[in-house]
A and B are shown apart, each in its own frame.
Chain A
């Protein structure tokens, strides 16, 4: 790796035939591994090993003695307690799931709408962008807790109770969860808006990269604005939608407004003797939470990504046809050449 180029040249001149073709590539690969190495070590030490350890913990009860930590294996006891004896955790995780499933699409759609508005011919676009981006800088867990505690995140004029009552009247029985979630959305409208700052900017910069000649061409062909949105805008920014959904879910989940992670921390602080606290129990909760979060993200991403691009498909088909044709032409040429040879011989 440290060999300088002069040395290389000298070697080349001395014995030119012995250099293998893959040598530079291999040296490049070694250099690449060297650059990435710190991260790989970190990945193993700070992520993969703790991941395995945490699974071990989750199957055990952990006690602290004078000599250090003592792990008592209890198989799946923690998980069973979690869903049979713990009164709070199942409720919190269900509310986390419904909230995420409802708020994430709302945030993304809202961000898209705002970005579309900002994308037009707007004066003071910079000012609006700065305002919408501001919460990204200041909306952290403790600040949000303070603001929510003070009622600064609800606008008094939005009467969420009326909406809730109306919904409760319409909804069939057994869907109280949905009503509650919707009421929650209206109650915390500012919180939801505050979490869409980055998404707006991502959408906006994606929208501005779309070639305007596409819209002009569509306009000449008689496409309305509505059609243009569905046929041009949406397919072009589809990757951004996936990105934003994933981003939203991750940042909403890791915020301290999420009661589940607060519970995990509290359980860690709690005494090791109680059944619903201690490191083992906290690890089990963390595992359930993580699996749920990864599942939600996976499902959302799959739902949005399944349909492949129409153009890509057509290009692929065209390429296949081209190859076939080329092969046919080559075959004909070869046959001609063969025939010509035979004629000559004859």
Chain B
């Protein structure tokens, strides 16, 4: 207690007769050789926080708007915080998107090609990393070339081809390319695995072969277990990219011309067609109170379609963010 009193009196004294050291203040503000100055640090933090806010701005906007009732939207005095905690928009949007069944579809449409992607890309990456064979350089060049090539250019012939085999409007139009290493962004994944297997010491695999393991066994026993981080990365990113892909999904899996026949759809495709779907649902129901489509409902729909991704990101953000460091996308 006395100690506190002592310090307090010293503090009061200091305020009454300020005896600051000019050098010290300068050092504090501008920093020295060892320590960065307060001003610089303050500026850096301020900038980072500002940019962070800009990054989060659309998300916050979406979140706050999705809870607003129509009155709140029209009321100019309400900017950010809705007057009531209103979940109606979510119910409306969810109904119009048929949320649960679509979610199930989405998980299948994204999940199956993703798992195939992980398996095939790991095999192909191992082939490129471990072995030398003629034309290897040419094939690697083609790998990068197909990555640069936009998917639009091969879209029409593929559509015709799938149509001939009756694959349009079926999940097989995503699975089949994935089996042959041509899934969505498979080139990046092959390169990730390539980088990873390059880091596995060749001696290990050779030792296994001397001990009597064949090519396949040494791949499964030695190479594959050491590539777990790469597999996680590829799984996460493949999942996210398939989830976010609406262009090709709408074309192949949902089917461009026969969307009614096809049972497959994803949340992103539904979101793409949100406005049209919403009005048709309203026309069909025709009972009870009609709530017209408005901004809040659209925002709620958007929120619903990215909600699973957001949850996954908050649970696994470490793996997402660190994966780029670990897998050596950067090591090229």
Measuring CB to CB, which residues of chain A are less than 8 angstroms from any residue of chain B? 1-2, 4-6, 25, 28-36, 38-43, 45-47, 49-51, 53-54, 57, 69, 114, 117-118, 120-122, 126, 128-143, 145-147, 149-150, 152-153, 155, 189-190, 193-194, 198, 201-202, 205-206, 208-209, 239-240, 243, 246, 250, 253-254, 256, 261, 264-265, 268-269, 279, 282-283, 286-287, 289-290, 293-294, 297
Contact = CB atoms under 8 A, between A and B. Distances in A.
Nearest to A141: B246
Contact of B47 (A41, A117, A254): A117
B55 A146 contact: no
Q: Which 4 A-B pairs have the closest CB atoms?
A: A32-B131, A42-B180, A35-B127, A140-B244
B201 interface: no
A137 B152 contact: no
Contacts of A46: 154, 158, 177, 180, 182
B57 A152 contact: yes
Question: Interface extent on B, as a size class?
Answer: 35 or more
A193 B51 contact: yes
Contacts of B245: 140
Interface stretch (B80-88, B103-111, B285-293, B304-312): B304-312
Given A43-B146, A134-B55, A283-B157, 6 more contacts: A35-B124, A130-B317, A132-B55, A140-B243, A208-B325, A268-B256
A189 B36 CA distance: 31
Contact of B156 (A206, A254, A286): A286
A143 B271 contact: yes
B172 to A, nearest CB: 13
B298 A150 contact: yes
A255 to B, nearest CB: 9
Contacts of A5: 209-212
Contacts of B20: none
8 contacts: A32-B132, A39-B190, A45-B180, A54-B156, A131-B56, A138-B313, A142-B305, A150-B298
B281 interface: no
B42 interface: no
Contact of A134 (B36, B124, B313, B325): B313
B287 to A, nearest CB: 28
A253 B150 contact: yes
Nearest to A53: B157
B47 to A, nearest CB: 7
B156 A38 contact: no
A147 B62 contact: yes
Contacts of A143: 244, 268, 271, 302, 305-306
Contacts of A128: 48, 52
B320 interface: yes
